[in-house]
Structure 1
């Protein structure tokens, strides 16, 4: 058995199996804790059906991550051995195509195999991270390619980006990141509150329900502190 694990011939297959295993473990841990908390805090009724729903959600989340991992890694293996793509210079393109192909099967709901709520949640989670990452990449490309001037507040002199030391460059980038995040957060929360008031049915159901629970308290009535605190 150890000879199989150390044999380079089986290495690609073992990597696919390992990725699937890690997807199951990560998805199981993440969804189980989240679904358990939601079920205990916000759902009512007998305990057994709620626990079954938690286990089903855990299974669905784990199967999504594991399936995408297998398809993604297997597609990379095929493309790397293809005469057209099999070049180290094309590894970025290979991974992009593998990601697109895997998401077409798993996340796009084209085949309606996987739980739509979970695939939507994961995709939207990744979307926000992708947008922020692209913003940072574009900023780095702009600073490195155009070498803009910045004013040194201590000497009141103009200095190009390339003439800043590493500490100054890092501080400048963090300052721009923080400012862009501030405006991004303001815009997102302004829009989500507007949409929730204007056309709430277009928001994701879990987001809509959580917002209703937190913000729609105008019609609530309380006769004592126990009712007010919900205890």
Structure 2
């Protein structure tokens, strides 16, 4: 009798666990969709009105499209990632560090593998932080000698030296959004029209 009760309770716990996993995945999906909209919409709004030409309708369409793409991709990725992690843990009976990498690798290929501007921005944003984290992990694990002084100033000089060199002499290699920003800062700023330049994008005019 007791074995039957324990079996029934175990079945109920398993059912509740599955229901919780399904509910959690749905909640996480919408949380990341909302997060993506909050992050992308202001950025798209500013960048579109500063650097994009076209009618108001075209600009609004571009903002909505960028916001939708960013939000949808983040939501899909976390859904794949969480689902694959749960699946691997269920199959193997335990959670391993490799589960995280494998799940994210597959999710990244499926969601962010399309080479477009938004995916490029997201991947490059992550790459910079991954490289920083790996350097710190290398020092923490003893693979990289701990620096005697703060290397950040040298790192900063190297980054800025390289990006301006690339902008001046190999501009097409830079991401389009970075090209637009740097063109505005280092070329369009050479031209003065009136006080509206502080409020409206001052586009430099070709010399006659």
What TM bracket, shorter-length normalisation? Answer: 0.7 to 0.9
Normalised to the residue count of structure 1, the TM-score between the two structures is 0.71
> Given the superposition, is the C-alpha separation of residues 56 and 225 from structure 1 closer, same or farther in structure 2, using an over 3 Å criterion?
closer
User: Which 5+ residue runs of structure 1 have no aligned equivalent?
Assistant: 1-5, 149-172
Deviation at 1:190, TM superposition (A): 0.8
TM-score, scaled relative to structure 2:
0.78
Residues matched between the structures, number: 186
* Range 46-55 or range 23-32, more displaced: 46-55
Equivalent residue, structure 2, for 1:87: 94
Query: What CA deviation, in whole Å up to 9, does each residue of 1:121-179 have, x standing for no partner?
Result: 11100110111111111122229x99x8xxxxxxxxxxxxxxxxxxxxxxxx9x85xx2
Query: Are positions 1:125 and 2:125 aligned together?
Result: yes
The equivalent of 1:98 in structure 2 is 103
Structure 1 residue corresponding to 2:186, chosen from 215, 221, 231 = 215
Aligned equivalents of 2:167 and 2:81: distance in 1?
36
Equivalent in the alignment of 1:191:
162
1:203 aligns to what?
A: 174
Q: Partners in 1 of 2:48 and 2:136 — Cα distance?
A: 37
SS in 2 for 1:87: coil
Change over 3 Å in CA distance of 1:229–1:71 after alignment to 2:
closer
Q: How does 1:1-231 map to 2 (within 5 A)?
A: 7-83=16-92, 86-88=93-95, 90=96, 92-109=97-114, 116-142=116-142, 179-217=150-188, 220-222=190-192, 225-226=194-195, 229=198
Shift of 1:11: 1.4
- 7 and 82 in structure 1: CA distance in 2 versus 1, 3 angstrom threshold: closer
Cα deviation for residue 211 of structure 1 reads: 0.8
Q: Distance in 2 between matches of 1:37 and 1:230?
A: 12
Aligned structure 1 segments of 4 or more residues deviating by more than 6 angstroms: none
Distance 1:12 1:221, change over 3 A: closer
Alpha-carbon separation, structure 1, partners of 2:48 and 2:75: 24
Please name the residue that 1:154 is paired with: none
- Give the superposed CA RMSD: 2.7
Comparing both chains, which one has the higher relative contact order based on Cα–Cα distances under 8 Å and sequence gaps of 6 or more?
2
